[in-house]
Structure 1
Amino acid sequence: MSFKIAIIGAGSVGFTKKLFTDILCVPEFKDVEFALTDLSEHNLQMIKAILDKIVQSNKLPTRVTATTDRRNALEGARYIISCVRVGGLEAYADDIRIPLKYGIDQCVGDTICAGGILYGQRNIPVILDFCRDIREVAEPGAKFLNYANPMAMNTWAAIEYGKVDTVGLCHGVQHGAEQIAEVLGARSLSDLDYVCSGINHQTWFIDLRLNGRKIGKDELFAAFEAHPVYSQQEKLRIDVLKRFGVYSTESNGHLSEYLPWYRKRPEEITKWIDMSDWIHGETGGYLRHSTETRNWFETEFPQFLESASKPIDPSRRSNEHASHILEALETNRVYRGHFNVKNNGVITNLPADAVIESPGFVDRFGINMVSGITLPEACAATCISSINVQRMSVHAAISGDIELLKLAVLHDPLVGAVSTPEEVWQMVDEMVVAQARWLPQYADAVPAAQERLSKSSVKTRDWAGAARRSVRSIEELRAEKAALKQAV
């Protein structure tokens, strides 16, 4: 088979490498062309060198091109994969830093909450540019696979306004299933069957079967409570399981910032998080992790390049959905996964226009969702709160309406639990002004926001958050990796 796959944001080096090797695990795909595109020529050349090394070492005919000209990369592409972060780590730092001045402590800040909403405002105009290019120069009927956060907002904009065949992809469901299989003592993940449904990062394991036996709330709760590691790392997530009756896919740190109850008082935050790794709730944890990962890659690039000479091992193919979707569409080998699409009745008690994440099957006919799923009421209520925020955020990003943007942030569950309307109005002004170069739709609103900020009497604080850690140096990272290697 010979077709073209374009990867936008290919400078996300580690993830691009994973997608690339996964796709080449499919024997029929060895003749595929990969077109890489990114704003950074430096990052593009690094990832191209790695992928070229993989191709050469495995003696494949696969073609890899790299260009900063996005339309050129998209021309004739059958599949387009996006893993962009508009504004990079510079804008992301503001997503964490500015809300902290108003008492909003986020772990990740890339889905909803103040950081995730502004991230969506930066991404959506660019997503629509991608969609325009796809409509104009890609292969007719091309499929857009979005991996970029905020997943629901980006996918919503691409479907409703970009008018492109789009599916959003995430790995939270797979990771949650791995945890459940472990605590229940499954011999392998294949022993566990499940139905997981909701919205991205708030998806719920509403039906669990271990070797065909139904697993109830009490058994699952007891298994997590007894686990020596997860009982400490996933305290908040386990508490939600106890109260809601179902387990959430999302990590302790992520879940904590989508709800109004666990991060609203600084003195309470440390009770619910675990500092053994960023993902369990650390303030700005993913920003620190991303910064360290970027610095590590820049310094240790020769090692990454050397590791690319290893043979591709199909047994090590990851559980990221992209390669499996492409395989099913092209070969008709059916794949079951969990996909982000417009609801339209798939989940009976969520709005029809929402982007939901739910089970589906893929074959030559496309992605076929399992319809008629009804969430437990508490899960639906939590999802609907986020959906309302997402809808307003998408519409604000499209219209450039700063008042609607402020209303979206005001209705965010954690923001509403922590901040007053006056604080929210000033915080949004401050974030829009700070990120103006990535927010073209708000260009006309920036001068007035600057004027309001110059006259504001709303007090802020110089606060690093309840559980902030400093970015570690390369030397500290090397020492930690050496210690872990020695311990193993």
Structure 2
Amino acid sequence: MRPPKITFIGAGSTVFAKHLMGDILSFEDLQDVDIVLYDINEERLNESLAVGNKIKQQLNVPARITATTDRSKAMDGADFCINMIQVAGYKPGTVVDFETPKKYGLRQTIADTLGIGGIMRALRTVPVLAEMSKDMERLCPDTLHINYANPMAMNCWGLSRLSKIKTVGLCHSVPYTAKELAEDIGVPYEEIDYLVAGINHMAFYLKFERNGEDLYPLIRKVMEEGRVPDGNRVRYDMFKRLGYFVTESSEHFAEYVPWYIKTGREDLIERFNIPLDEYPRRCEKQIADWKTMSKDLQDSSKTIPIERSVEYGSHIIRAMVTGKPAVVYGNVPNDQIISNLPEGCCVEVPCVVDRNGIQPTRIGAIPPHLAALMQTNINVQALTVEAIVTGKREHIYHAAMLDPHTSAELDLDQIWSLTDDLLKAHGEWIPENLR
């Protein structure tokens, strides 16, 4: 039996590829895998290959790691396709998503999941993923497509309507937030049991326990004692009002709702410590740091720190290859999984994984106020996906009209004008029938 073939799509994301390769090759069961790195940027691809070979050498494993700019060659016979692309990149993609709305007074923090920025990112990304999935149907029809690309929910929802390929979306917000909360309340992360359900970036801890003891009172104590971390003020405020803690960071969550970022309300920005333009800052820092980081990663005299990340990808691959079960949080179509969210939308829930693949846990009904809040985001996702699938351009405007943050800041004429400006600015990155 041949070793599993794992294809990295968008492998020029070297740091992320490094984490995933380290995770995979650290498992004794997966040390003879065939990893193929694919990217359209040959320079970054070669950097990732050098890093991969260094990890292989340090771990002294027999895995094969190759790189190619030929997508068909990369996908041919792949058992797993891990997708980490960013269509249009930071420049021009992200820059346009931030700078054009600013002309209308619409400010954002991350703009990769919802909001006008998330809508545009989906319009650029879903068609490319769908095109890639056609290659998978031809070259590796039984593959598992593991998607890390944002906007997660819209990407996965779009693919569920446009492709026959099995897809699961993965995000690290569930374990990351659990670890943050563990630190806040002084309980070891390893001792905590939790149940999370919802949509990506707006899922909630329905249970947060240790040995059957509810730990939510300890989280409330953090607020009562004034120990809320500066970077987490939005989420703690939502916890105070909803009674459940949300999985995604405060800077993300602030732009999914209409309450925290408002023109002329700098008091809100200061009170909740909201980092406007946070994603462009991170990108600029990463670009500035990359030259040094790249040299260090490829320098043969320096070792690469290899520590297991919180990413679920390697656990899925190991479980499906060996049959040893794992539990991960995955983004999957809502096939009666959460009963009070729309059928077919993309939900984030615990999934059991083994040789049978991804098996989502049926949750039932979640608290009605949480479902209602999620629905405000699902409306935007649904209309954006509808625009992409049907080619009906008017649904892009409808998605923007119903977006909580955009509609709280702009009137209808402004929303339509902004949408026109963004579609024009993105040009060839948007499918021709939607420009």
Instruction: Please report the TM-score for the alignment, with normalisation by the length of structure 1.
Output: 0.85
Give the match for residue 214 of structure 1. Answer: 214
Alpha-carbon deviation of 1:308?
9.0
Give the match for residue 109 of structure 1. Answer: 111
How far, CA to CA, are the matches of 1:307 and 1:286 in structure 2?
32
Q: Which amino acid aligns with 2:221?
A: A
How far, CA to CA, are the matches of 1:213 and 1:424 in structure 2?
48
Q: Which amino acid aligns with 1:324?
A: H
Q: Which amino acid aligns with 1:234?
A: N
Q: Which amino acid aligns with 2:327?
A: R
Matched, 1:355 2:338: no
Give the match for residue 484 of structure 1. Answer: none
Alpha-carbon deviation of 1:386?
0.7
Alpha-carbon deviation of 1:260?
0.9
Asked if the contact 2:201/2:248 (under 8 Å) is kept, the reply is yes
User: Which structure 1 residue ranges, 4+ long, deviate > 4 Å from structure 2?
Assistant: none
Distance 1:226 1:12, change over 3 A: farther
Distance 1:266 1:127, change over 3 A: farther
Asked if the contact 1:206/1:246 (under 8 Å) is kept, the reply is yes
Render the CA deviation track for 1:126-177: whole Å, top value 9, x for unaligned. 0001100110012x41100000000001111122212210000000001111
Q: Which amino acid aligns with 1:289?
A: R
Give the match for residue 124 of structure 1. Answer: 126
How far, CA to CA, are the matches of 1:394 and 1:269 in structure 2?
32
Render the CA deviation track for 1:36-66: whole Å, top value 9, x for unaligned. 1111111101111111122233332211111
Give the match for residue 391 of structure 1. Answer: 382
How far, CA to CA, are the matches of 2:246 and 2:432 in structure 1?
35
Instruction: Please report the TM-score for the alignment, with normalisation by the length of structure 2.
Output: 0.95
Render the CA deviation track for 1:328-367: whole Å, top value 9, x for unaligned. 1111221112110001111111111110001121112222
1:332-481 maps to which residues of 2 (within 5 A)? 332-442=323-433, 446=435
Alpha-carbon deviation of 1:179?
1.6
User: Which sits farther off after the overlay, 108-117 or 329-338?
Assistant: 329-338
How far, CA to CA, are the matches of 2:58 and 2:288 in structure 1?
27
Give the match for residue 261 of structure 2. Answer: 263
Alpha-carbon deviation of 1:372?
3.2
How far, CA to CA, are the matches of 2:379 and 2:55 in structure 1?
44
Give the match for residue 190 of structure 2. Answer: 190
Render the CA deviation track for 1:204-239: whole Å, top value 9, x for unaligned. 0111112321234x44222245364x4322111111
Give the match for residue 471 of structure 1. Answer: none
Render the CA deviation track for 1:263-311: whole Å, top value 9, x for unaligned. 123424423443xxxxxx3112112102221231134421122389537
Distance 1:235 1:3, change over 3 A: same
Alpha-carbon deviation of 1:189?
1.1
How far, CA to CA, are the matches of 1:36 and 1:237 in structure 2?
37
Asked if the contact 1:397/1:441 (under 8 Å) is kept, the reply is no
Asked if the contact 2:157/2:346 (under 8 Å) is kept, the reply is yes
Distance 1:359 1:224, change over 3 A: farther
List runs of 5+ in structure 1 lacking aligned partners.
275-280, 447-488
Give the match for residue 99 of structure 1. Answer: 101
How far, CA to CA, are the matches of 1:237 and 1:116 in structure 2?
20
Q: 3-state DSSP class of the match of 1:368? A: strand
Q: 3-state DSSP class of the match of 2:110? A: coil
List runs of 5+ in structure 2 lacking aligned partners.
none
How far, CA to CA, are the matches of 1:108 and 1:254 in structure 2?
6
Q: Which amino acid aligns with 1:78?
A: D
Give the match for residue 20 of structure 2. Answer: 19
For the aligned residue pairs, the C-alpha RMSD in angstroms reads: 1.7
**Identity over aligned residues, as a percent?**
34
Give the match for residue 50 of structure 1. Answer: 51
Asked if the contact 2:25/2:61 (under 8 Å) is kept, the reply is no
